Structures are given as structure tokens and as C-alpha cells.
Amino acid sequence: MTARILCAVDLTPLAPHVVALASTFARAKRASVTLLHATDRRDPHPEAAEQLEQLAAPLRSAGIPVTITLEEGEPAPFILDSARGAALIVMGTHGGQGVERMMLGSVAERVLDHAPCPVATVRDAFQGVISRIVCGVDLVDAAPLEVALALAREMQAEVIVLHSAREVPEEGRHNLVPASYCPTLLAEERERLHAALSVLDTTGIDLREAVVPGRPYRQLVRYAAEESAGLIVVGVHPHLFGGTAHHVVREAECPVLTVRGAAASKERFR
């Protein structure tokens, strides 16, 4: 095993689900896992080492090599520094309550914006199985789609490739595009999506294409919920504060894998 997955946990009730997600990726990628926790000086966890050992137990039972790292300090810098050379970061979002919940959200967003590799986040219960992946594509950067296709092969999962035509209003909404022209715009976007997929190797993958009107993040969250997706894959663009990826991570019911675009990083989760 050469790939390493960094699993950052906050020792809240969400932590076992974060570890379960890391385990799913580790099995698919035949990767080891570094389980780490940064103890905040203002809110120390005296039993952190013992809790980390308990969280590591199911990973070891599955035959996944595990290393435990515990440090006192700010979580985000610790995670980012530890992520050097990692293939993936797995972490929770909004795992606590009150101030802790706000801090965890800021940690997740900082990691999303500055991580040198893809980041998988989970904000709710995770059942350990990913059989359907919804991948949001913008028809500019193919990196998220390439990652989704690679995962689909390894997990034997179905892929739904979703593209949002933001110029076309969602049902019940209005914008400057005349209603009579919307069907033409949607047809053009379907042709663009099909052309983008035609140059990629999708052999052996159960794949569906979908073009929907409206804002990408709303459609990704809605579509994933309606299709009972186990994972959303979406590109992250750090210069866009509060962009599509940030909204999806905050609102999606299922785990989200954010992939930095090819222009921002040469790193690939393969």
C-alpha cells in the first residue's frame, strides 16, 4: 500500500461516521489511514488517545494499516501540514454544537480552500456503502469527473453526471432568458455534456447524463437526495468564496468529495 488517507476527527458523535467514510475509501484504494486529532487548548480531551484507539479498531479489523497522531494546537494548520503527501483528507463538518460547531465549520472551509489533495467531508450518518455517485460538472475542468469515474470503477458504483444550465431558471423562478428559448439552451447543454463525456474512458461504468436548469449547488444537493446518492463529487475553486462546493458541503445529506481543479493543482486522487 502506497496511498495514504488522512482522517481528521474531532471526537464528537460524528467521528465514527468520519472513520467509516475513510475506511470505505481506504478499501477501494488499498490505502493506509492516518487517524489524527488536534486537541484545542481551550477544550482539551483528556481521554483523546483512548478514544482514537477505539476509533482505529474497526479499521484494523478490516486489515487497513492505521497510524494515530495526536497534537495540541489549532486543527486547520495541523491538518493541512499533515496532508503533505496524502492522497485524500477525510473529515467531518458541523460535528458539534454552539461555538464548537462554528469552529468546526471554519476548519472545514479552511481545509477545503487550501488542501493539497481532494477532501471528503461528511456531516451526518454514513452507512459505509457508496453505490451511486453524483458528479457535478461545469464543462470547463474535467478533474472532478475523472476522479468520479476512477472511484466508480473501484467501488463498482453507478455515476450520474450532472450539469446545471444556470442561465435557465428553475421551475417557478424567473430570469432574463425568455421561456421560449429555455428548451433550446437545455438541448445545447446536453450536447456539450455528451461531447465532454465522449472523450473520456467510461468503459464498464454504469453512467447516466443529466442536464438541469438552475444554480449548480441547489441542483446537486436536490438531485443527490432524490437519487439516494452515496457520494457527491464536485470541483472546488478556492478563489470563489462561498462557491458551489462550499454550499454543497454545508447542505448535502450524503458525503461530499471536493476535487481541486487541474489549474489549481496537479494532484489527483487515483
- Percentage of the chain modeled with pLDDT above 90: 59
Looking at residues 15-22, what average pLDDT do you find? 96
Q: Is 78 helix (H, G, I), strand (E, B) or coil?
A: helix
Average pLDDT, the chain: 85
Give the C-alpha distances (Å, rounded to integers) separating 84 from 3, 27, 189.
Answer: 12, 21, 38
Pick the CATH number of 4-122 from 3.40.50.620, 3.40.50.300, 3.20.10.10, 3.40.50.720: 3.40.50.620
Q: Is the pLDDT of residue 2 over 90?
A: no
**How would you classify the pairing of strands 256-260 and 119-122?**
antiparallel
CATH architecture of residue range(s) 132-260 = 3-Layer(aba) Sandwich (3.40)
Where does residue 120 rank: exposed (0-12), middle (13-18), buried (19+ CB within 10 A)? Answer: buried
Looking at residues 78-100, what average pLDDT do you find? 79
Looking at residues 87-112, what average pLDDT do you find? 69
Location of C-alpha cell 479498531: 57
Q: Is 16 helix (H, G, I), strand (E, B) or coil?
A: helix
Looking at residues 251-262, what average pLDDT do you find? 89
Looking at residues 95-122, what average pLDDT do you find? 72
pLDDT at 96: 43
**How would you classify the pairing of strands 231-236 and 256-260?**
parallel
Q: Is the pLDDT of residue 99 over 60?
A: no
Looking at residues 116-124, what average pLDDT do you find? 93
pLDDT at 6: 97
d(CA 18, CA 26): 12
d(CA 33, CA 59): 8
Domain ranges in the chain?
4-122, 132-260
Looking at residues 155-163, what average pLDDT do you find? 96
Contact in structure between 6 and 23 (CB atoms under 8 Å) = no
Q: Is the pLDDT of residue 170 over 50?
A: yes
Q: ∠ at Cα 91 (9, 42), nearest 5°?
A: 45
Where does residue 21 rank: exposed (0-12), middle (13-18), buried (19+ CB within 10 A)? Answer: buried
**Range in 143-152, 203-212, 236-245 the model is least confident about:** 236-245
Work out the pLDDT band at 139, boundaries 50, 70, 90. confident
Work out the pLDDT band at 97, boundaries 50, 70, 90. very low
pLDDT at 61: 95
Contact in structure between 192 and 139 (CB atoms under 8 Å) = yes
Could you read off the pLDDT of 57-66 as tens digits, one per residue? 999 999 999 9
Neighbouring C-beta atoms of residue 27, cutoff 10 Å:
16
pLDDT at 60: 96
Start-to-end C-alpha separation, the chain: 13
